[in-house]
Amino acid sequence: MLPLGLYSLFTLLLWEFKPVFGTIINTRANIPTSPPSNSEKLAPTLLSFSLEQDRWPDWAGRHSQNVYTYNALTNYAQLTGQPPKIRVGANTEDRTLWGPNVDLVSTVFPAPNETTPYPEATSMNVGDEYYRLSRFMPRGTHMTWGLNLGYSNVTNAVNMAQSIFRAFSSASETTRNGVVLDLIELGNESDLYRGKVRPSNWTISQFVQNWIENMTPVARVVKLSVGGPVGVIACSFVTRIFTATGSFNAGILDSEPGKYITHISQHWYSGEFCNGGDFHLRSFMSKSAVRGNLTVFNPDITATRSRGLVYVMGETNSIGCHGAPGVSNTAGAALWAIDYTLQAATLGIQEIYYHGGIGFKYNFFQPIALDRSPVNNSHLSPPSQPYLQPPYYAGLVVNTAVGRMAGSGMTKIVELELTAPNLSGYAIYEMGKPARAVFVNLNAWLKSDARVRERSVYHIDLSFVSTAKEIKIKRLDIGYADDTSSLMWGGQSWETREFLVSGREVTETRSRDEGVDIRETEAILIWF
Ligand SMILES: *[C@@H]1O[C@H](CO)[C@@H](O)[C@H](O)[C@H]1NC(C)=O
Ligand SMILES: *[C@@H]1O[C@H](CO)[C@@H](O)[C@H](O)[C@H]1NC(C)=O
Ligand SMILES: *[C@@H]1O[C@H](CO)[C@@H](O)[C@H](O)[C@H]1NC(C)=O
Ligand SMILES: *[C@@H]1O[C@H](CO)[C@@H](O)[C@H](O)[C@H]1NC(C)=O
Ligand SMILES: *[C@@H]1O[C@H](CO)[C@@H](O)[C@H](O)[C@H]1NC(C)=O
Ligand SMILES: *[C@@H]1O[C@H](CO)[C@@H](O)[C@H](O)[C@H]1NC(C)=O
Ligand SMILES: *[C@@H]1O[C@H](CO)[C@@H](O)[C@H](O)[C@H]1NC(C)=O
Q: What is the pLDDT of residues 343-378, one digit of tens each?
A: 999 999 999 999 999 999 999 999 999 999 999 999
Confidence of residue 118 (pLDDT cuts 50, 70, 90): very high
Q: What is the pLDDT of residues 52-74, one digit of tens each?
A: 999 999 999 999 999 999 999 99
Which residue among 194, 198, 200, 201 is best mutated to probe the pocket of ligand 4, counting the most ligand atoms within 8 A of its Cβ? 201
- What confidence score (pLDDT) does residue 21 get? 58
Confidence of residue 464 (pLDDT cuts 50, 70, 90): confident
Across-strand partners of 415?
426
520 pLDDT more than 80:
yes
In this prediction, residues 262-275 reach a mean pLDDT of 97
Confidence of residue 227 (pLDDT cuts 50, 70, 90): very high
- What confidence score (pLDDT) does residue 469 get? 83
Residues near 482 by Cβ (< 8 Å), separated by ≥ 6?
Answer: 281, 326, 330, 331, 332, 446, 447
Reported pTM = 0.95
Nearest CA to ligand 7 atom 13: 378
Q: What is the pLDDT of residues 78-91, one digit of tens each?
A: 999 999 999 999 98
Q: Identify the CATH homologous superfamily for domain 44-407.
A: Glycosidases (3.20.20.80)
The finding on whether 153 has its CB within 6 A of some atom of ligand 3 is yes
Structural contact between residues 470 and 7, judged by C-beta atoms closer than 8 angstroms: no
What integer best gives the mean pLDDT of the chain? 95
- What confidence score (pLDDT) does residue 9 get? 38
Structural contact between residues 368 and 359, judged by C-beta atoms closer than 8 angstroms: no
Please tell me the number of Cα atoms within 13 Å of 356 on its side-chain side. Answer: 26
Confidence of residue 465 (pLDDT cuts 50, 70, 90): low
Q: Of ligand 2's atoms, which has the minimum distance to the CA of residue 110?
A: 5
CATH topology of domain 18-38+409-527: Immunoglobulin-like (2.60.40)
Residues 325, 388, 51: CA angle, nearest 5 degrees: 80
Nearest CA to ligand 2 atom 14: 113
Strands (E), 132-173: 142-147
Structural contact between residues 138 and 77, judged by C-beta atoms closer than 8 angstroms: yes
In this prediction, residues 126-138 reach a mean pLDDT of 98
12 pLDDT more than 50:
no
Which residue among 280, 287, 293 is best mutated to probe the pocket of ligand 6, counting the most ligand atoms within 8 A of its Cβ? 293
Q: Determine the Cα–Cα distance for residues 336 and 310; give it in Å rounded to an integer.
A: 24
Q: Of ligand 1's atoms, which has the minimum distance to the CA of residue 274?
A: 7
DSSP 246-264: HHHHTTGGGSTGGGGEEEE
Q: What is the pLDDT of residues 285-330, one digit of tens each?
A: 999 999 999 999 999 999 999 999 999 999 999 999 999 999 999 9
Q: Which of 202, 201, 220 is nearest to 212 (CA)?
A: 220
Across-strand partners of 68?
none
Q: Ligand 1 centroid vs 121 CA: distance in angstroms?
A: 11
* Domain range annotation of the chain: 18-38+409-527, 44-407
Q: Determine the Cα–Cα distance for residues 321 and 462; give it in Å rounded to an integer.
A: 41
417 pLDDT more than 80:
yes
Residues 48, 75, 232: CA angle, nearest 5 degrees: 25
Q: Ligand 4 centroid vs 123 CA: distance in angstroms?
A: 29
Q: Ligand 4 centroid vs 215 CA: distance in angstroms?
A: 24
Which residue among 51, 59, 87, 91 is best mutated to probe the pocket of ligand 1, counting the most ligand atoms within 8 A of its Cβ? 91
Confidence of residue 3 (pLDDT cuts 50, 70, 90): very low
In this prediction, residues 321-340 reach a mean pLDDT of 98
334 pLDDT more than 80:
yes
The finding on whether 162 has its CB within 6 A of some atom of ligand 3 is no
Instruction: Report residues whose beta carbon is within 6 angstroms of any ligand 2 atom.
Output: 110, 113, 115-116, 119
Residue spans of alpha helices (H) in 113-153: 128-132
